[in-house]
Amino acid sequence: MQFLESNSYFRPSLWPTLFLIASLPILLWLGTWQLQRLEWKLGLVEQMEARLDAPAIAIEDVNPGVDDEFRRYRVSGTFDEATEFHWLATSETYGIGYLIFSPLTLEDGRKVIVNRGFVPSPLKEALDDRRGGREAFEAIARVPETPGALDATNDLAANIWFTRDIAAMAALAGGGRYLPIYLEKAGVVPEEVWPKPGAAKVTLVNNHLDYALTWYGLALVLVVIYLVFHRSQGRLGRPIE
């Protein structure tokens, strides 16, 4: 500041100034937007933790929707033993493998897709090891994914899925009264039993603060480069001769 007070001359260059005027508000807006996303994500994490810690609800007594993500339910029904969908995943413990999604018919006739858990790649086709029939268990509601333009295309011939496209799975399973959410089976199974619920954990990534600091940092760097450029060109802090 003392330098600018004693050398107040400043003659801005046209194109660098126009670039600064156009770019600086965008960088500041992106940083602010990431802070807003941070606040939203922290609220989502708080909601998730509260719902996961709450007692399980009997799914027959309610009609779960997309607003009920992370709620815990008591579920009983019959798995379709002839239908599975294999979603490519990795586990910190077991390496590369698949999450096994299967249709489940609830006691009241409604249907829902269930993520039964993780199996390593060699067990992908070991259907006889996971013939379930009727089961009772606890599960967590999750919102399905809608495939985007940048998502890999599901390989239906090889039964390898890259998105949790529950609508597509339900259609391939023959359709019916499917819930708009899917369930992730919870609990612990013996070491020799597959699939393993929760072995490939899905977490909420929260990098918004890092992103906000990055955008604000770029804004600061842009201003510094702008001033340094003008100083080097004799347009800042150097009186007219």
Per-residue HEC secondary structure of the chain comes to CHHHHHCCCECCCHHHHHHHHHHHHHHHHHHHHHHHHHHHHHHHHHHHHHHHHCCCEEHHHCCCCHHHCCCEEEEEEEECCCCCEEEEEEECCCEEEEEEEEEEEECCCCEEEEEEEEEEHHHCCCHHHHCCCEEEEEEEEECCCCCCCCCCCCECCCCEECCCCHHHHHHHCCCCCEEEEEEEECCCCCCCCCCECCCCCCCCCCCHHHHHHHHHHHHHHHHHHHHHHHHHCCCECCCCC
Residue 122 pLDDT: 86
Would the pLDDT of 212 be above 80? yes
Q: Are residues 136 and 167 in the same domain?
A: yes
Assess whether 140 and 218 both reside in one domain: no
User: Are 40 and 113 contained in the same domain?
Assistant: no
* Residue 124 and residue 32 share a domain: no
Domain with 104 in it: what CATH number? 2.40.50
Q: Residue 37: give the domain boundaries.
A: 13-53+207-241
Task: Please tell me the pTM assigned to this model.
Answer: 0.71
For residues 77 and 122, membership in a common domain is answered with yes
One domain for residues 47 and 113: no
- Mean pLDDT, residues 93-107 taken together: 91
Domain count for the chain, please give it.
Answer: 2
Same structural domain, 60 and 176: yes
State the pLDDT at residue 4.
Answer: 46
